[in-house]
Structure 1
Amino acid sequence: MGAVKTKRMPRAVREQQMLDAAVRTFGQRGYMAASMDEIAELAGVSKPLVYLYLNSKEDLFTACIRREAQALTEAVRAGARPGLPADRQLWSGLTAFFAHTARHPDGWAVLHLQARTHGEVFAAEVAAMRAEIVAFVTQLILAAAREAHRDPDLPEREVSGLAEALVGAAESLADWANATPGATARQAAATLMNFAWAGLGNLMTGAVWSPPEEEGGDAGDGDEGGPRQAGRTSPVR
């Protein structure tokens, strides 16, 4: 392969071109299969220039993770409009999340698939991004609890668990939406709001789902026991 001729341009612009090419390559081919030759060719630069700017394949991948993570968190925060009720903020934040992952499927693949499975250093970068989003969602749930005058009854650990579950559901739903022809960001956000927030709405009013009561023995002790009462939603005492 002959030397690649490049036009002079600011370093920051050239570096973004390299990152664009790297995100596309890592996202579509995977970290292990991606080559620096392929990334350099896609970016329209020489491989030595990629190494000069970004040192190594590992450093290049880390730079991709950080850029995509920052872009995603900024999109979510910008989408959630301050001053609105908590559920409206979550709705707009989720819509922004799904819109971003749909517009940047390679970046989402880097964050959600590649970075988590190719070493603790890469996984830690994604974990930091995820922790920031979970903290943001936690504050929205706490705000909703205060709006419903339920703040004293929701321990911080429980709220954090709810936020973790909601973020995990959003991550899985983003994969589904990107793989489902015709699925839109608004549809994905509405699906999650109906699944999660409708349930949270009951929780805020004091109605919780109760597990079925067992009669005639413990489950798993060899005794089938008596009839079980179906799960139900009931007020918190």
Structure 2
Amino acid sequence: MPRAVRERQMLDAAVRTFGQRGYRAASMDEIAELAGVSKPLVYLYLNSKEDLFTACIRRESAALVEAVRDAVTPDAPADRQLWDGLRAFFAHTAEHPEAWAVLHSQARTVGEPFAAEVNVMREEIVTFVTALIAAAARAAHHDPSLPDREVAGLAHALVGAAESLAGWANTEATVSAHQAAATLMNFAWAGLGDLMEGRPWSPPPR
């Protein structure tokens, strides 16, 4: 069997095991058994449990980012781009619950260096959303008044909300990816729309 195919089998088994049992509880023995290979072969290909977990994070991060980017048409209106991206995000996390558990729960709670690996993926998505919000501001008025820091803050808030909602939606069998995306659009885009039209919310005077 080609090495690439064998490695994919090992990573598939590892993602399933890490996602279901957690990093600390998962053993190389059960990963090897699920992959249908010997434990020494897993070590030969992927060196250690830590390296195997890192490989899982990197593969699943790339798959998630690719799914979101592929779903978005760059020339579409900003709200359509965000809608398509959110639907792809929620669909991917729902279709790959073990992978999302690895990225959202396990990698962050186990600590460094795994959390840093996930942050690379998160920053890529935040950068994408930041550019989308900035483009929407430019389209709304030729001289957008939104400072870069505020645009970045909005992007971080939106991505954080999507991550939290995906974690909740994956525990609710009746919530579809479409419904989750619509929930976040109703929560976020109405406010963003007012902001783009020059009607930002202002705190009441003290």
User: Do they fold alike, i.e. is TM over 0.5?
Assistant: yes
* Equivalent residue in structure 2 for 1:61, among 44, 53, 63: 53
**Is the Cα–Cα contact under 8 Å of residues 145 and 204 in structure 1 kept in the other structure?**
yes
Q: CA RMSD in A?
A: 0.9
The alpha-carbon deviation at position 209 of structure 1 amounts to 1.6
Deviation of the 1:211 alpha carbon: 1.7
Q: Is the 8 A contact 1:24 1:106 kept in 2?
A: yes
Matched, 1:129 2:121: yes
Q: TM-score, normalised by structure 1?
A: 0.85
1:27 — aligned with what? Answer: 19
> Whose RCO is larger (CA < 8 A, sep 6+)?
2
Q: Choose 1 or 2 for highest CA Rg.
A: 1
> Runs ≥4 in structure 1, deviation > 6 angstroms?
none
Q: Does 1:191 align with 2:183?
A: yes
1:16 and 2:8 correspond: yes
Corresponding residue number in structure 2 for 1:202: 194
Q: Structure 2 counterpart of 1:26, which letter?
A: F
Aligned to 1:43: 35
Map 1:99-178; keep pairs closer than 5 Å: 99-149=91-141, 151-178=143-170
Shift of 1:64: 0.2
**Structure 2 CA distance for aligned equivalents of residues 138 and 170 of structure 1:** 14
Q: Give the structure-2-normalised TM-score.
A: 0.98
Q: Output the amino acid matched with 2:38.
A: S
Aligned residues: 206
Give distance in 2, aligned partners of 1:181 and 1:56. Answer: 35
Distance of 1:204 and 1:107 partners within structure 2: 35
Q: Indicate which of 83, 86, 91 corresponds to 2:83.
A: 91
**Structure 2 gap ranges (5+):** none
Q: Identity of counterpart residues, as a percentage?
A: 78
CA contact (8 A) 1:98 1:188 kept: yes
Unaligned runs of 5+ in 1: 1-8, 215-237
